[in-house]
Chain A
Amino acid sequence: MHYVVLRRILLTIPLMLAVVVVTFGLIHLAPGDPAYLLAGDAPTPEFLAQVRAEYGLDQPLGTQLLTYLGKAAQLDFGTSIYFKRPVFAVIFARVPATLLLTLCALALASVGGVLLGVTAARHRGTRIDGLLSAVSLVGYSIPTFWLGQLLVLVFAMSLNWLPTGGFTSTRITYTGLDYGIDVAKHLVLPVISLALFELGLIARFTRTAMIEALDRDYVTVAYAKGADTGRVLWRHALPNALLTTVTVIGLEFGVLLAGALVTETIFGWPGLGTLFYDAVFRRDFPLLTGCFIFAASAVIIANLLTDLLYAALDPRVRR
C-alpha cells in the first residue's frame, strides 16, 4: 500500500513540470500583448516599454520560462498583471468560494446520482428505469449556461424566491446566523445548475455498474441465502458498483475545483471560474499560467486521492 502511494505521488512530479512548460508555451503562443491592455488608450511608446520592462515581457521567451520555473519551484508564481498582486494570493482568495460551491454541488449530485442510479438498476427495463434514465440524460445534456439562466428566470425573477446571483446580499449586510442563511440562499441556484450535470453523469455510471454487479454470482448467492432486496442492493451490489462511481466523482471534483467557469460567470460567483475568465480575456499571463497550474494540480491531486480511495475500497488494488 505504501509503495502504491509513493509511486503515485512521485509520478505527479514530472506531470506537474510538463503542465507548467506546456501551459507557459501555449499561453504565450496566443495572440495579444498584455502590455497594450495594461497601458490603456493610446499609450506612448515609452510608457509601453516601461510596462513591458516592469513585467519582464521584454525578455526572450526562454528566459521568461526559466525564470518562471525557478520561481514556481518556490511557489512564487509572479504578480498578476491586472490585479497587481501576487498570483498565489489572487488565486487562493477565490478558492473558498469555489470550494463551497463545488462541495455542495458534488454532495447533492453524488447522493442524488447514486440514488437515481441504484433505483434505475433495481427496476431495470421497467417504466421507472426509462423515466429515471431520461431524467439523468436530460440533466447530463442540458447546457449549463441555459439551465442557469432558466433557473434565474423562474426562481429569482418570476417567483422571487431566491437572488439572481452574487455571494451575499448587497442590499442588507447580515451577520452571524443570518449571514450563513444569506450565503445559503445565494448558493441554491448555482449549486442546482452545477449539480444537475454531475447528477446525470453519476446516475448513468452508477446504473451501469449496478446492473453489472446485480448480474454477478454473489448476488444470486445472497438471494439464495435469503437476503432481502434492500440488503442485496445496498450491502452487496452497491459497494462493488461504487468503485466506478467513486472514480467519476473524484475526477469531477478535480475538474470542478478548477473553476465552474460558466456557472460562476452566470451567477457572478466570486470564485476561480470568474477569475479564469477574466485572466483569459486580459491576457494576464502570470495569472492565467497560475490558474492553469492550479487547475492541473487540482485534477492531479483529485486523481491521486481517487486512486488512494480506490485502493482503500478495493483490496485487489492494494496487492
Chain B
Amino acid sequence: MSREPNMPGSTISPFISPWHVARRSVLAGLGVSALSFPRAFAAAPTRLVGVLEETPSIINPAITAVISSYAAGTPVYNALTHIDAKGNITPELATAWDISPDGLTYTFHLRQGVTWHDGQKFGAADVKFSLENANGKLHPWGRGAFRAVERIETPDDATVVLHLRQPSAALMLGTDSACGLILPKHIWDGSDILKNPHNLAPIGTGPYKFVEMLPGDRLRYARNETYFVAGQPYFDELVFRIIPDPAARVAAFENEEVDTIYMNALPFSEAPRLGAEPGVALKRTNLRGAGFMGIFNVREKPYSDVRVRQAVAHAIDRGFIRNNVDKGFTIKMLGPVPPASPLYNTALQDYEHDPALANKMLDEAGYPRGANGIRFGFNFLWPAADAGVTRMADVIRQNLAAVGIEAHLQPLDRAALTQKGYIALQFDMICESYGLGPDPDIGVERLYNSHNIFNPPVPYTNVSGYRNPEVDALFDKQRVQLDPTARKQTYDRIQELIWADVPVLPMFAYDGPNIFRKSVVKGLYEGSYGNQESFATAKPQA
C-alpha cells in the first residue's frame, strides 16, 4: 500500500481493494499463525459501528461547521467545556472558570495531566493558539462566539485568561464542541491551517484516536488508553461506515451491521418505525435549537409588503405540516428564536391557518386576483435532497393556490441552491433546516441584523434583506447584558418585532432523532447534539 506523499503516517489508505487480500495473506503466511494462538484466548476487541452519510472532506470541527466533520472529529477532540442536554455547562479540558464581575475577564483553569494522542503534553498555549487561530478566526460560529475577545493571556501552563472588549452574553456557549474544540499548537503552529495535512489526520485529546480513513468505505478509531476520564472510553474500537444512500443506511442498521445512526444520517421518516423495534432505542437531541426556516426575499414587491408576508403566514397550514412532515420530531415554533432556547418568547401569538383572512389581507394590500384567479407567483427554493421540505412544498403549493398565489416549486441541488438562491437572490422563499443555537447571538441574529446583509451576498446570513433599526439596536443592547432577566426582556422584544414583520417564517423547530441498538450499547447521545457525539460514555452491554 502506498502512502500519500503529504500525509503523515498511513492515515488515508488510497486503496480499498482486493489487493488487501494478497497483502494480508502474505502477512498471515509470515508467522502470524504463531501470534494468533494466544489471541484465540484473548477477549475479542469490542467495536462500536456507526455510519456517516458521506466521506468527510476534512476532520477538523475547530474550523468548520460541516456536519460530517463534526461527526468524524468529535471523538478525537475535546473542548474547554461540555454542555449537556439541559444546557448545563460542565468541565471538560477546563476544570473550572471565573468570570469577573464586569464580564470582561474570563479565567479558565485547565485540567492537568492531559496528553495529546501523540504523547505531547496539553497546556494553556494550545488553548490560546487554537482560539486565536482556528476557533475564533475560521469557525463560522466561533467567529461570532469569540467576537468580543480582545486578547488571550497564559500566565501559566494551567491557566488561560480571555480579556474582552465588551461583555459577551454568549461567550461561554461557544466553549463546547459546537465551536470550541481545541487543536494542538505543536502540530498546527507555523502552518496554513486550511492546508495542514492534519485536517485529515487529526491528533486530539479525545476518547478515541484516529487510525485511518478509507474514502468511500470507512473511518477507524482506536481507544485512547490515556484518556483523562478514568475508565473511558469503553469500546476498544470505533468504526464509521460511509453509506451515501439513506435506504442502504437503514438496511444496514436493520441487518445489525451498524449499531447506531446519528440524526443527520437517519431519514426522519424512518425514525419512528426503527425506534419502535425491539432492542432499539431512539434518542432525541435538540441541538439547542434547529428549525426549518422559510426565508422571504423582502427586497421586492410583493414580498416587501409586510401584509403580504403575514397573509402568506396565515395561508400556509403549518399545523398540518408539523403533524404530517417528520411527525413526532416537530415542535411548534413562533418567531425567530427556537423553543429549545431559554430566551424563547412564549407569549407570541401564532398566525393561525385562515385562508379567508389571508385572501382578505391580500385584497386589502392591493393584490386582487387576475382573470385566471392568480394574484402573483411564489418562487419556492429548497435543497432537493431534503425529503422533508419536498413533502412540505406540496402542502405549501396547495395552501397558496387557495389564496391565489401560484407557487413555482424549485428543488435544487446544494450548489445550484447556493448560487441561485443565496448569491443571485432569485427567490421569494428559500426553505431549509437552520441551526439556531447554541445561543441566539450565534445562530439567530445572523438572519435578522441588517449588519449581516452583505454585498455580494453571503449564504446563511441576512439574505432576506430585512432591515429594522430598532431590531438592530436591540441586538446590540442585549449582547452586553449579563443579567439573564434583562437580556431575556430585550430578546422578548426582538422576537415581537421580528414576528410582526415576519421576514422569515419558521415552519417548525425539530429535535434530531438518533437511534442505537440498546442490546449492544448504552450511554449514547447524552449531549445536546446528536451530530457531535464523542462516544466517550458509550458502553458495551454486558
> Is B214 a contact of A270 with CB atoms below 8 Å?
yes
| Residues of chain A with a CB closer than 8 A to B264's CB | none
Of A42, A89, A163, A283, the residue contacting B460 (CB under 8 A) is A42
Residue in A closest to B44 when the chains form the complex, CB atoms: A172
Selected interface stretch from B24-32, B319-327, B341-349: B24-32
Residue of A nearest to B199 (CB): A84
- A43 at the B interface (CB under 8 A): yes
From the candidates B28, B138, B195, B248, name the one contacting A47 in the complex (CB within 8 A).
Answer: B138
Please name all residues of chain A whose beta carbon is closer than 8 Å to the beta carbon of B414 when the two chains form the complex.
32, 37, 281-282
What are 30 A-B contacts defined by CB distance under 8 Å? A30-B415, A32-B414, A33-B423, A36-B419, A36-B423, A44-B458, A45-B454, A83-B55, A83-B215, A85-B4, A90-B215, A92-B14, A100-B17, A164-B251, A164-B257, A170-B47, A171-B257, A176-B25, A176-B27, A179-B20, A265-B245, A266-B247, A268-B243, A268-B244, A270-B16, A277-B244, A278-B55, A281-B414, A281-B415, A283-B415
Q: Contact between A270 and B243 (Cβ–Cβ < 8 Å)?
A: no
B369 at the interface (CB under 8 A from A): no
The answer, yes or no, to whether A149 is at the interface (CB within 8 Å) is yes
Contacts of B255 in A (CB 8 A): 156-157, 160, 163-164
Interface residue tally of chain A, by bracket? 35 or more
A194 is an interface residue with CB less than 8 A from chain B: no
CB of A49 to closest CB in B, whole Å: 11
Q: Are A97 and B416 in contact (CB under 8 A)?
A: no
Q: Tell me whether A93 and B258 are in contact in the complex, defined as CB-CB below 8 angstroms, given that A179-B24, A278-B244 are known contacts.
A: no
Quick one: given A41-B140, A84-B200, A175-B27, are A164 and B248 in contact (CB under 8 Å)?
A: yes
State A277–B18 Cα separation when bound (angstroms). 22
> Once the chains are docked, how many angstroms separate the CA of A267 from the CA of B416?
27
| 20 further interface pairs, Cβ-Cβ under 8 Å (given A94-B16, A165-B252) | A31-B415, A32-B413, A32-B416, A32-B418, A36-B419, A43-B458, A54-B194, A82-B57, A152-B251, A156-B251, A165-B243, A165-B248, A166-B218, A176-B25, A183-B18, A268-B241, A270-B215, A270-B216, A278-B55, A278-B216
Q: Is A177 an interface residue (CB 8 A)?
A: yes
Cβ of B242 < 8 Å from any Cβ of A? yes
**B122 within 8 Å of A by Cβ?**
no
Say yes or no: B257 contacts A34, CB within 8 Å: no
CB distance from A30 to the nearest CB of B (A): 8
Complex-state Cα separation, A94 to B29, whole angstroms: 27
Would you give the shortest CB distance from A89 to chain B, in whole angstroms? Answer: 6
Q: How far is the CB of B39 from chain A (nearest CB, A)?
A: 11
For the complex, give the distance between the alpha carbons of A51 and B456 in Å. Answer: 16
B490 shortest CB reach to chain A, Å: 23
Q: What is the interface of chain B, defined by CB distance below 8 A to chain A?
A: 4, 6, 12, 14-21, 24-25, 27-29, 32, 47, 49, 54-55, 57-58, 64-66, 138, 140-141, 143, 194-195, 199-200, 214-218, 239, 241-245, 247-248, 251-252, 254-255, 257-258, 385, 413-416, 418-420, 422-423, 435, 446, 454, 456, 458-461
Do A97 and B17 contact each other (CB < 8 Å), given the known contacts A176-B25, A281-B413? yes
Cβ < 8 Å to B, chain A residues 244-301: 265-268, 270-271, 274-275, 277-278, 280-283
Contact residues of A with B, CB < 8 Å? 30-34, 36-38, 40-45, 47-48, 50, 54, 82-85, 89-90, 92-94, 96-97, 100, 149, 152-153, 156-157, 160, 163-167, 169-171, 175-177, 179-180, 183, 265-268, 270-271, 274-275, 277-278, 280-283
Closest A residue to B418 using CB positions = A36
Bound CA span A82–B215, Å: 12
Q: Is the CB of B420 within 8 A of A31?
A: yes
Beyond A45-B454, A265-B244, whether A157 also contacts B24 by CB under 8 A is no
Q: Which of B64, B242, B418, B460 is A268 in contact with, Cβ under 8 Å?
A: B242
* CB <8 Å contact, A266 and B415: no
Name the distance in Å between A144's Cβ and chain B's nearest Cβ.
12
A50: shortest Cβ distance to chain B, in Å?
8
Q: How far is the CB of A224 from chain B (nearest CB, A)?
A: 50
**How distant is B407 from chain A, measured CB to nearest CB, in Å?**
21
Could you say which residues of chain B place their CB within 8 Å of the CB of A153? 251
A148 nearest CB across to chain B (Å): 9
Q: A290 to B322, alpha carbons, bound, how many Å?
A: 44
- Give the complex CA separation of A38 and B195 in angstroms: 13
Q: Which residue of A lies closest to B247 (CB)?
A: A149
Residues of A within 8 A of B47 (CB): 170-171
How many Å lie between the Cα of A103 and that of B385 in the bound state?
32
The answer to whether B243 touches A166, judged by C-beta atoms less than 8 angstroms apart, is yes
Which B residues are in CB contact (< 8 Å) with A84? 57-58, 195, 199-200
Query: CA of A160 to CA of B257 in the docked complex: distance in angstroms?
Result: 11
Which among A41, A54, A100, A274 is the interface contact of B65 at CB below 8 angstroms?
A41
Instruction: Report A91 CB to chain B, min CB distance, Å.
Output: 10
On chain B, the residues within 8 Å of A90 by CB distance are 215
Inter-chain contact B419/A31, CB cutoff 8 Å: yes
Is the Cβ of A170 less than 8 Å from the Cβ of B241?
yes
In the assembled complex, which residues on chain A have CB atoms less than 8 Å from the CB atom of B254?
A: 157
Across-interface contacts of B140 in A (CB, < 8 A):
40-43
Closest beta carbon of chain A to B42's beta carbon, Å: 14
Contact B18 A96 (CB under 8 A): yes
Check A36/B422 contact, CB under 8 A, given A93-B215, A152-B248.
yes
- Nearest Cβ on chain B to A102's Cβ, whole angstroms: 12
Q: How far is the CA of A282 from the CA of B57 in the complex (A)?
A: 10
Instruction: Give the complex CA separation of A316 and B320 in angstroms.
Output: 72
Nearest CB on B from A35, distance (A): 10
B4 proximity list for chain A (CB < 8 A): 85, 89
- A-B pairs, top 6 by smallest CB distance, nearest first, are A32-B415, A270-B216, A96-B17, A176-B28, A93-B14, A270-B217
Q: Which of A40, A42, A85, A274 is close to B216, meaning CB atoms less than 8 Å apart?
A: A274
Which residues of B have CB within 8 Å of A277? Answer: 244
Of residues B138, B243, B254, B454, which shows the largest number of chain A Cβ atoms within 10 Å of its Cβ?
A: B243
Q: Name the B residues within 8 Å of A41 (CB-CB).
A: 65, 140-141, 435, 459-460
Q: How far is the CA of A50 from the CA of B193 in the complex (A)?
A: 13
Chain B residues near A267 (CB-CB < 8 A):
248
Q: Which of A32, A156, A171 contacts B49 (CB 8 A)?
A: A171
User: A191 to nearest B CB, angstroms?
Assistant: 13
Closest Cβ of chain B: how far from A181's Cβ, in Å? Answer: 10
Chain A's nearest CB lies how many Å from the CB of B168? 19
In the assembly, what is the distance between CA of A153 and CA of B419, in Å?
39
Please give me the residue from chain B that is nearest to A270 by CB atom.
B216
Chain A residues positioned under 8 Å from B385 (CB to CB): 281
Pairwise interchain contact B15-A93, C-beta atoms closer than 8 A: yes
Question: Does B217 lie within 8 Å of A167, measured CB to CB?
Answer: yes
In chain A, what residue has the closest Cβ to B217?
Answer: A270
Q: Are A96 and B16 neighbours in the complex by a CB distance under 8 Å?
A: yes
Question: Most chain-A CB neighbours within 10 Å: which of B21, B54, B254?
Answer: B21
Cα separation A177 to B244 with both chains bound (whole Å): 29
Residue of B47, B57, B247 with most partner-chain A CB within 10 A: B57
Shortest C-beta distance, B70 to chain A (Å), equals 11
Q: A32-B419, A47-B138 are in contact. Are A42 and B200 (CB under 8 A)?
A: no
